[in-house]
Amino acid sequence: MPKPLPRFLSPRRLALPTLVVLAALSVDYLQWHKRAYFWFKEQGLSLAEQQASIWLPGYRAVLQGKPLAGLEDDETSGLTYHPGSDTLFTVTGKNPQLVELSLDGEILRRIRLAGFADPEGVELVADGRLAIIDERERKLTAFHLADDALSIDAADYPAFDLGFADAGNKGFEGIAWDSRRQRVLLGKERSPLGLFSLPFPGEDGAIGTLQPMPTGNLFVRDISSLSYDARTGHSLVLSDESQLLLELDGEGEPVSFISLGGGRNGLGKGIEQAEGVAMDAAGTIYIVGEPNLLYVFKRPADS
């Protein structure tokens, strides 16, 4: 007959310490203490300061989890807004392609991406070019997209090596265009997590040097996508693991944030695996999640 456990190892006595450890791990993983600190900091911002920012707490979900028909198995990632066509573009990694979407998530066209191993980010940059980040190859490739294009071959365009040769699947995923300073903003997923800037390459491929950017108190566990708001000079940082959308000022300091969990900011169900964020000319925010879901956020006054 097995011996009974010592009293100090009984399930009842172990329950409280176990809960304490699990709670501590949750606080550390999701950084609840930092979220709480910046939530209180948000409350102290004046109306003028809120109006000078994107001010994420003012947004509510108006479209939730709309399936992007036909992309169920393609792993959508990255998102950008094209003002010329008033459409969105995303990329897919499992079956590399560039996909154009209407603002309400209807697929308008697909362009095959040849020579791309793992496209993770897409952004409209200078001169109307689209830039794609290939995470596995650690490359940025930019090109003009013709209205009748059926495919894009990476071999036809100059590519910039982003470095971090040992990054593996923890490389660059976020890309945004800073039109004020004419530079690309890049977000490295993790190990190390960080933001970088890059003077944009010309048609001949000439490019500047990748520079680390200040990130202040960046309380996210990963970076899955970026967007830039030229009106405020602020950036949006999307974190899949933290289920957060964070607004940073020009110095890399947090200004506002919203949780992407269920029951928050009009979301009935949380966004799982948020992989792309973009903002249009009216300030509407779009988020795409794997495998193929679209979410739209607006300020109530804009709805």
185 vs 281: CA distance, rounded Å: 19
Strand bridging mode 130-134 / 225-229: unpaired
Q: Which of 7-21, 94-108, 197-211, 221-235 has the lowest mean pLDDT?
A: 7-21
279 vs 215: CA distance, rounded Å: 21
pLDDT digits (tens, 9 = 90+) for 207-241: 678 889 887 677 898 999 999 999 999 999 999 99
116 vs 284: CA distance, rounded Å: 30
61 pLDDT above the threshold of 60:
yes
Asked if residue 292 lies in contact with residue 67, where contact means CB atoms within 8 angstroms, the answer is yes
Mean pLDDT in the chain? 85
